[in-house]
Amino acid sequence: MLKRTLIGLLRSHEATGDKAKDPLLKSHIYKLSKEKAWEEVVSTLKKMQGYKLLHEVKSVGEIVMEKRTMTGRTMDITVTVIGVNPVTSAVDIYSASKGSLGDLGSNYRVILDIYRTLDKKLAAFKA
């Protein structure tokens, strides 16, 4: 966590992906069609406290949200649902803080928070 805070002094964004070096930032895979994964992810994100869903674009599988930090900064979060094949989907998250300073690791924590929530809700489908 200290390393993340040090990185966060300089960087104000964090992203997940299938090539992420940090295992906690690897794409999360669910055994659900893109259609079903989309419905589950959107309904789960809408219920998360402290997050505001701004818009969802089903055709490209993007959900845009924001979260206000305790210091009043705004974080822009994009959650992407990707159909890997007809029965499997991947979920990736990009989180960025507005402002000139680094985020002290808050984008990293937001991503882990969202993944934890999705994994709990979709535990039966986690690949």
pLDDT digits (tens, 9 = 90+) for 51-86: 999 999 999 999 999 998 877 889 999 999 999 999
Q: Which band of pLDDT confidence, cut at 50, 70 and 90, is reported for residue 106?
A: confident
Q: Does the pLDDT at position 10 exceed 90?
A: no
Q: What's the token pair of residue 12?
A: 């104000």
Q: Which band of pLDDT confidence, cut at 50, 70 and 90, is reported for residue 12?
A: confident
pLDDT digits (tens, 9 = 90+) for 91-101: 999 999 887 66
* 95-117 mean pLDDT: 87
* 111-122 mean pLDDT: 97
Classify domain 2-125 at the CATH class level. alpha beta
pLDDT at 116: 97
H-assigned helices in 34-127: 34-47, 106-121
* 9-28 mean pLDDT: 88
User: Is 18 in contact with 90 (CB distance < 8 Å)?
Assistant: yes
Distances, alpha carbon 4 to alpha carbons 10, 11, 19, 30, 52, in Å: 10, 10, 18, 27, 25
**What's the rounded Cα separation, in Å, for the pair 82 and 71?**
33
